[in-house]
Amino acid sequence: MQNSPDQPPSDGVYVDTRATYLYTFISLAIGVVIASVVGLLLFSLRQPMIADETGRATFSIGAIMVPLAAVVAIAILAWAVFQLPVWFAKRQGIILDPEVWPWTGALGVGAVAVIGFIGAIFLKII
């Protein structure tokens, strides 16, 4: 049931579209900060595989840090836009608008991922 923000809920169920956008984008910003810190920490641990004099490459755990940083960052962003807004809404006693919340979060994560990928290309990280 969609209620206007100026009208108090009559049946105890209150869907707030403005709060849905607000909580989703605040959560996305929190997720970007956390994912950036964790991703950069993992990225700083990277080590290229080095070949010895016989041509064999020795494996180190640092060789998988770049893909691991990407996977962890996307997992943090997904948590931030799909779980964190629900927690905020529960604390405020509202229901996120089901027609707005999931796709807004998905588009936000997609936009951040594309911007990050293009930025990594321009910075010659990948």
Residue pLDDT tens, the chain, 126 long? 455 555 555 556 678 889 999 999 999 999 999 999 999 899 888 877 777 788 788 777 888 888 898 899 999 999 999 999 999 999 988 889 988 888 998 999 999 989 988 998 999 877
**b/e 45-77 (16+ beta carbons within 10 angstroms → b):** ebeeeeeeeeeeeeeeeebbbbebbbebbbebb
Q: Are strands 50-51 and 15-16 parallel, antiparallel or unpaired?
A: unpaired
Predicted model pTM: 0.77
